[in-house]
Structure 1
């Protein structure tokens, strides 16, 4: 089927617009946190997998870090357990940890299979593989009783990431797909927030970009308007007045830490938009919120 002159011109302009970005980001690492609706809607799953494969084909090095919140909550309900969160972190007792490991293992395989189906060469990993994500138990300070520390179970904060295995896979044209499970010094497995893993991995790999997919157009103000650019001062104000809370807290914290640690560009974008990843990386407009280091 032939294109009309206007349609052909539009396609040509889009391809032409992408060219400088392909040149600029050639052989650069792009860390992508994959979550939200993009993980559960079949059409968006396909769109995401195609985007990742295309980025690899044009010479970039995408690294995917995924969560599995909705799937974990669903399985917990089936076993008669209610998911509980404190300051955006999932309370993870031994039984919940078993569910987390089971769900993340399946989600990881599904993402790998989908990327491979679309022509990529994906390899699934957890932080247990080669013990490349080392962690210790996380304690949270109580909001109600300052100074009191809360034990939220088998939840980890990262102490070290060894980038060797990721760099090796990148050099072999593989696409790493990482599940956010870490290893404690005693060998205990720890559930780590996927946003935090993505941010720390971007820092360690000296990534060009960190892109966090979410279920909103980006970071919103109290009136629901998109905030296209945020500084640390803006973020402190938004946390103080309650605009940012719950699951957005670790996302923002991860994004800000990555920006301060040398990741050149950090974005929170709407994973409900088809091909959001390509729009963010390969077009002039981009989508979502840019986190600036200062």
Structure 2
């Protein structure tokens, strides 16, 4: 009986959050360990389905870095990076990136649908969702890496209205029809901004943002986050994630979260519990 009561208490803890977020849009970036470990991938699919069942409108953007690197290695193509971002030097590499992301997209859509959800797979090319141009980065030629020019969210809102879950591969298209590889965090942030989403949630392979002593920071304002970047407390691969969150908040997103995707049901724990499992970033 005690176990049953504890389960009931957990449900009651979630109730005010369910009530608050019903009919709200959450943009969730799915990546890292959560993508390559089957138990984490499965729990993520269940999390997304539950969000949909309780009236929240999830939009999923997925990455694919490890899988892309593995496929390029199998094909004898060297992976190149600059400041942690993959260089896509030629059309051959771009074709591999698009192929791998397409496979990941179908697998994630299938996982959601076979467990009771209603997902539809897209890339940023569909419905001209993501318009991009070639990225120039510190005079380094990034190849077919794109910078987002415009997000046309109509296809997403159409799917949302009809209770489908959009699952989006981070590919953009240029005005000339050229396909571009775009960082998945950047795509998620831009889509969240275009939709004025209630939440942007980035799954990572770390606990969240940490201070200079290595302690998890559970909540930050945008001003505090910018100060931590300037002071060097936030560094390396966390900088683009936090910057993405700050930009999305400036575009109208209510709250951004960076959470530990290595934990099963991390999305539910962050949204529906009082403590959470990562770092939330809010307006200053």
Q: CA deviation at 1:60?
A: 0.7
Counterpart of 1:146? none
1:134 to 131, 136, 141: 131
How far is the alpha carbon of 1:88 from its aligned partner?
2.9
TM-score by length of structure 1 reads 0.92
Q: 1:170 aligns with which of 157, 160, 164?
A: 160
**For the structure 1 residues 81 and 242, does the alpha-carbon distance in structure 2 shift closer, same or farther, using more than 3 Å as the test?**
farther
Match of 1:111 in 2: 108
Match of 1:20 among 12, 16, 24: 16
1:122 to 110, 119, 125: 119
Query: Is the contact made by 2:255 and 2:283 (CA closer than 8 Å) also made in structure 1?
Result: no
Match of 1:8 among 1, 4, 8: 4
2:265 maps to 275
**Cα deviation code 1:167-195 (max 9, x no counterpart):** 00011111000000000111000001000
Deviation at 1:243, TM superposition (A): 4.3
Q: Determine which of 179, 182, 190 is the counterpart of 1:192.
A: 182
For each residue in 1:209-264, what CA deviation from the matched residue of structure 2 results, as whole angstroms up to 9, or x when unmatched? 11100000111234432122233443344434544344323211111111222211
2:88 corresponds to 1:98: no
Q: Distance in 1 between matches of 2:231 and 2:70?
A: 32
Gaps of 5+ in 2: none
Aligned to 1:151: 141
Partner of 1:203: 193
| Equivalent position SS for 2:47 | helix
Mapped to 1, the partners of 2:236 and 2:134 lie a distance apart of 20
Q: Establish whether residue 221 from structure 1 lines up as the match of residue 211 from structure 2.
A: yes
What is the match of residue 80 of structure 1? 76
Gap regions ≥5 residues in structure 1: 142-148
CA deviations over 1:35-85 (Å, ceiling 9, x no partner): 011111111111000110011011110000000011011111112233222
Offset at 1:290?
1.1
4+ residue runs over 6 A deviation = none
Give the drift of 1:11.
0.4
Would the aligned equivalents of 1:88 and 1:250 in 2 still touch at CA under 8 Å? no
Kept in 1: contact 2:193–2:252 (CA 8 A)? yes
Q: Which residue of 1 aligns with 2:52?
A: 56
Q: Any conservation in 1 of the 2:60–2:166 contact (CA below 8 Å)?
A: yes
Aligned residues: 283
Q: 1:47 aligns with which of 43, 46, 49?
A: 43
- Contact 2:194-2:251 within 8 A present in 1 as well: no
Please give the TM-score of this superposition, normalised by the length of structure 2. Answer: 0.95
